[in-house]
Amino acid sequence: MPAFHAAIIRWYRRNARDLPWRRRSDPYSVLVSETMLQQTQVARVIPKFEKFLAAFPTIASLACAPLADVLRMWSGLGYNSRAKRLHETARTVLRDFNGQVPHAIDDLRTLPGVGRYTAGAVASFAYGADEAAVDVNVGRVLSRALLGKDRITGSAIWELAARVVPRGRASMWNHALMDVGALFCRPNPDCAGCPARRNCVFSTSGKPERKTGARRGRALSAKAPFLGSRRYYRGRVVRALTCAPRLSLLALGEQVKEDFAATDVAWLRDLLAELERDGLVALDANRAHVRLPTDARQS
């Protein structure tokens, strides 16, 4: 294990990715970046991160902002429910934690939308706690390198990750594993360039060459269904409303779906009802016009 730690940390010190959120270590910035990075590629988050913090520089400013403003600033990142949960988290922190993002894992897990990974990331990156933060990349690196298995999940990977966190260096370690997973230990791995190759059971066994083709096919097929999916149209609805204070169903439908026709009105109403239940849109009393929510400030 010491050789594995040393190889990865030595490489990271020389080659760490220069990402804007790594230049900040305050808990609020870490929370924002980790929420943005959920299911979203780094390249899409980079231009949004600084703009979001410029608009909402503190957790109090985010908590006090109308949700509609938060959704407008979030527009383009997708998964708009993340913006709503982040907004709810800011209000919870202001109300229940005196405006300070908590450092204890159990307290972090009580925040809206904060799961095991995000709690570990905030605790380690912002507070230096010896906590694991297992995303898909980290889990793949550890399961391959230490067990020779392409992927293990659930409590098993978390138990493994917790055992190997180097004490006092969890922040650097978690960042390093993420970089190794993103740059080398991908589904189609580049074992020849990986800094952990000499200490990796998966690499030294020759398994990558036998698994490459099948994994590439699964990765490509998993991405295809998004275009035209319900999630796709949900995102288009919210994006259209960020550009207009209020739209009729007809005007909205024409922006959301090509060749929108009268026969699509029932489909649109159903979609809007779902978004309304999620708190992402608001319809007027006769349900003929729709807008972003103008929420009442929580105490």
Amino acid 204: pLDDT: 86
- In the block, tokens 């000499």 appear at 198
Amino acid 231: pLDDT: 87
What is the C-alpha separation between 106 and 266, in angstroms, rounded? 44
Amino acid 226: pLDDT: 65
The mean of the pLDDT values for the chain is 89
Amino acid 295: pLDDT: 65
What is the C-alpha separation between 196 and 176, in angstroms, rounded? 11
Was domain 230-291 assigned CATH 1.10.10?
Answer: yes
Is residue 271 within 8 A of residue 221, CB to CB? The reply is no
- Which residue ranges make up each domain of the chain? 2-131+166-177, 230-291
Q: In the predicted model, is pLDDT for residue 154 greater than 50?
A: yes
> Could you tell me which residues come within 8 angstroms of residue 20 by beta carbon, excluding any fewer than 6 positions away?
46, 49, 50
pLDDT band at 213 (very low <50, low <70, confident <90, very high): very low
Quickly list H helices, 38-104. 42-55, 59-64, 67-74, 80-96
Tens-place pLDDT, residues 17-40: 999 999 998 999 999 999 999 988
Amino acid 208: pLDDT: 55
> Could you tell me which residues come within 8 angstroms of residue 57 by beta carbon, excluding any fewer than 6 positions away?
none
Q: In the predicted model, is pLDDT for residue 144 greater than 70?
A: yes
Write the class of the CATH domain 2-131+166-177. Answer: mainly alpha
pTM metric for this prediction: 0.84
Is residue 168 within 8 A of residue 112, CB to CB? The reply is no
Amino acid 21: pLDDT: 95
159 catalytically annotated: no
If you average pLDDT over residues 96-103, what whole number do you get? 96
| Percent of the chain topping pLDDT 90 | 76
Is residue 87 within 8 A of residue 62, CB to CB? The reply is yes
Q: In the predicted model, is pLDDT for residue 299 greater than 90?
A: no
What is the C-alpha separation between 246 and 260, in angstroms, rounded? 18
- According to the per-residue pLDDT averaged within each range, which of 144-153, 168-177, 240-249 is highest? 168-177
**Least confident window among 48-62, 82-96, 201-215, 240-254:** 201-215
| Percent of the chain topping pLDDT 70 | 91
- In the block, tokens 């993340």 appear at 82
53 alpha-carbon distance from chain centroid = 16
Amino acid 230: pLDDT: 87
Helix or strand run (H / E) with residue 170:
helix 170-183
If you average pLDDT over residues 196-216, what whole number do you get? 68
pLDDT band at 224 (very low <50, low <70, confident <90, very high): very low
Residue 20's nearest CA partner among 33, 39, 35 is 33
Amino acid 215: pLDDT: 44
Amino acid at 67: L
Amino acid 253: pLDDT: 92
One-character DSSP codes across 103-149: -SHHHHTTSTT--HHHHHHHHHHHH--S-----HHHHHHHHHHHH--
Residue 28's nearest CA partner among 70, 63, 3 is 63
Is residue 133 within 8 A of residue 174, CB to CB? The reply is yes
